[in-house]
Amino acid sequence: MACIDDKGNLTATAKKILTAVKDQSLTAEDVANEAGLPLFKVRSSLRDMASMGFVFQNGDSYQLNEKAEKLLNRGS
Amino acid sequence: MSENIQNTQEQEVRSLPRIGSKAPAFEAVTTIGTLKLEDYKGSWLVLFSHPADFTPVCTTEFMAFQEIYPQLREMNTELLGLSIDSVHSHIAWVRNIEEKFGVKIEFPIIADLNKDVAHKYGMIMPEESSTEASRAVFIIDDKQVVRAIIYYPLSTGRNMDEILRVIKALQTTDKHNIATPANWKEGDKVIVPPSPTQEGAEERMKDENLECVDFYFCKKQL
């Protein structure tokens, strides 16, 4: 679970990615551009977060799952 | 018994990817989480192995790889390290490199404890060491095809300029359909592939844009 730190908070990378897909459905490429992160890192993180239910996938696009919004707002 | 050892070694040799073949797929635990080869689709990748964390030659190499990382990224190329060590060992080592040498390692490193990726890529040379990966470099293009393979022994650190040069040469070849001569560097003249027909060879000798010594040896400036 590379997207969660030892205190149960989102890592900086996970926060950037979830913020990018908060109000819009984006592809991994779009997220990488918007968040300014390397594409391989975004693909890996999105896969991780999809398996944990933080985002849901529709075709090639990802969007924030409402249930994960609390986690996104925590500590911000 | 000795037959078994021979069979095992033959299998390892057979698993070595070849230039032009699809790079073997993998899913591996790394210092940034789980990575798959397919995560790198669309960018070039330098997948390299090192014998062990906390060893001097590897430490110099890691700092040197980090130094060229910005240049590689400008060339749409990512770096991915590998050794048969744990993630915690990798983390401790990169923290140590930052603390002792002031160099922050920014690229991920595969923790290949079960040697899964090392075996797929033929990174272990059993005659040299069966517990450590040799210094292998696989240059994989944006379509996940192996384009170049370089091996160094345990005792010899790699040359970063050569790795940069090979990638630049391959990308120039792809873009302009040319080849590059010995010791080529960006800006040097390139080789025009020989014409496969006699007519084409004769026309080529008349082409004023080319510098031809003979029909098979023509250069041009890009």
Whether B56 shows a pLDDT value over 90: the answer reads yes
Per-domain residue ranges of chain A: 12-74
Angle at the Cα of B74 from the Cα atoms of B136 and A62, rounded to 5 degrees = 90
Residue A3 with chain B: CB contacts under 8 Å = 33
Active-site residue, selected from the candidate residues B23, B29, B58, B140: B58
Task: Label residue A1 by pLDDT band (50, 70, 90).
Answer: low
> Which range, of A63-72, B34-43, B63-72, B110-119, averages the lowest pLDDT?
A63-72
Nearest to B40 among A40, A45, A47 (CB): A40
Average pLDDT over residues B194-220: 91
pTM (two decimals) = 0.90
Q: Considering chain B, what percentage of its residues have pLDDT values greater than 90?
A: 82
Residue B196 touches chain A, beta carbons under 8 Å:
no
Residue B172 Cα, gap to closest chain A Cα (Å) = 23
Whether B139 shows a pLDDT value over 80: the answer reads yes
pLDDT in tens, B140-192: 999 999 999 999 999 999 999 999 999 999 999 999 999 999 999 999 999 99
pLDDT recorded at residue A68: 82
Whole-number Å distance between alpha carbons of B4 and B2: 5
B218 as an active site residue: the answer is no
Q: What's the whole-number average pLDDT of chain A? A: 88
Element (H, E) at B87: helix B87-101
Most trustworthy range by pLDDT among A52-66, B11-25, B96-110: B96-110
Task: Label residue A7 by pLDDT band (50, 70, 90).
Answer: confident
Task: Label residue B197 by pLDDT band (50, 70, 90).
Answer: very high
Long-range pairs for B97-104 at CB < 8 Å and ≥24 separation?
B97/B59, B97/B62, B97/B63, B101/B59, B101/B63, B103/B62, B103/B63, B103/B66, B103/B67, B104/B66
Average pLDDT over residues B9-29: 81
Judge: B35–A44 Cβ closer than 8 Å, yes or no.
yes
Using beta carbons and an 8 Å cutoff, which residues of A are at the interface with B?
A: 1-3, 29, 38-41, 43-45, 47-48
B178 contacts B187 by C-beta, under 8 angstroms: no
pLDDT in tens, B87-126: 999 999 999 999 999 999 999 999 999 999 999 999 998 8
Whether B10 shows a pLDDT value over 80: the answer reads no
pLDDT recorded at residue B33: 93
ipTM for the whole complex: 0.88
Query: How many cross-chain Cβ pairs, A to B, lie less than 8 Å apart?
Result: 31
Average pLDDT over residues B43-51: 97
Whole-number Å distance between alpha carbons of B166 and B188: 14
Judge: B40–A41 Cβ closer than 8 Å, yes or no.
no
Nearest to B43 among A2, A39, A48 (CB): A39
| Beta strands per DSSP E along chain B | 27-30, 33-36, 44-49, 77-83, 109-111, 135-140, 146-152, 190-192, 211-214, 217-220
Whether B17 shows a pLDDT value over 70: the answer reads yes
Tokens of B84: 């048969």
Whole-number Å distance between alpha carbons of B163 and B46: 9
Judge: A39–B32 Cβ closer than 8 Å, yes or no.
no
pLDDT recorded at residue A4: 78
Nearest to B42 among A3, A39, A44 (CB): A39
Q: Considering the domain A12-74, what is its CATH architecture? A: Orthogonal Bundle (1.10)
B205 contacts B219 by C-beta, under 8 angstroms: no
Whole-number Å distance between alpha carbons of B79 and B47: 6
Whole-number Å distance between alpha carbons of B132 and B136: 11
pLDDT in tens, A29-52: 999 999 999 999 999 999 999 998
Most B-contacting residue of A6, A29, A40 (CB-CB within 10 A), to test interface: A40
3-state secondary structure of B190: strand
Pick the closest to residue B138 from B128, B154, B156, B152 (CA basis). Answer: B152
Average pLDDT over residues B35-56: 97
B153 contacts B167 by C-beta, under 8 angstroms: no
Pick the closest to residue A69 from A26, A33, A23 (CA basis). Answer: A23
Judge: A44–B42 Cβ closer than 8 Å, yes or no.
no
pLDDT recorded at residue B1: 46
